[in-house]
Amino acid sequence: MRGVDTVEGVDTGDSAAARADDPPVSLLTRIAEWSIRHRWWVLAFWVLVAGSGIATASTTNSRLSVSFDLPGQPAYEANQNVLAGTGSGGSFPPLVAVVQLPAGTTVDSPGVRTQLEAVDTRLTAALPGARTASFASTGNRALVSADGRTTFVSLTLLPVVLYMGGEGWTGRDAGGRCGW
């Protein structure tokens, strides 16, 4: 123990002087010394904590959730309404195709809108059933960068169900049609 001079368990009488000369003992040092003196009680405590953790692990895991959805909140309810009304969207994130035009060309340049519509058509053909939203289809300037050179197409896919067909796994929507 700090500050106690003993020889084979006999106090030499210098303990008070030794305590006066020692620097102040920190709280962490006192906790460490107490833990060492009572190591069997500390060990028993941690064995009980570990045992109770093991005993409750099966019921605790079923209570954990990896979902960030909060039912009853406005955003969650809006997602559910979009999903119910359109069959896509909601909690299914969209694919985004970005189109950047060459320097000196903007979405307002002649013929660009027609070319952007062709990009929409090609993407929709590649992803049947996808809903698209773009500057070409809506004319909304919110879908264009400040310099007018960059725009994007948002593609929202229908939820796809995988099933085992004659040629292996294929993507199908709920109606059995090709989902991509």
Cα separation, 131 vs 87, whole angstroms? 10
- For residue 161, what are the β-bridge partners? 172
- The letter for the amino acid at 75 is A
Tell me, letter by letter, the H, E, C secondary structure of 53-103: HHHHHHHHHCCCCCCCCCCCCHHHHHHHHHHHHHCCCCCCCCEEEEEECCC
Cα dihedral across residues 56, 59, 62, 63: positive or negative: negative
**pTM of the complete model:** 0.44
- 3-class state of residue 144 by DSSP: strand
**Domain boundaries of the chain, sorted by first residue:** 6-59, 93-172
DSSP state letter for 146? T
Specify the 3-state DSSP secondary structure of 10: strand
Rounded (10°) CA dihedral 158, 160, 166, 168: 130
> What was the pLDDT predicted at 169?
42
Please give the Cα distance from 118 to 172 (Å, whole number). Answer: 26
Q: What does the pLDDT look like over 29-67, one tens digit per residue?
A: 999 999 999 999 999 999 999 999 999 888 877 777 666
Averaged confidence pLDDT in the chain:
76
* HSE toward the beta carbon, residue 15, CA cutoff 13 A: 11
Question: Per residue in 121-166, pLDDT tens?
Answer: 898 888 877 778 888 888 888 889 999 999 988 888 766 533 444 4
Cβ(179)–Cβ(161) under 8 Å?
yes
> Using one digit for the tens of pLDDT, what is the confidence trace for 89-101?
666 678 888 999 9
Among 22, 9, 160, smallest CA distance to 95 is for 160
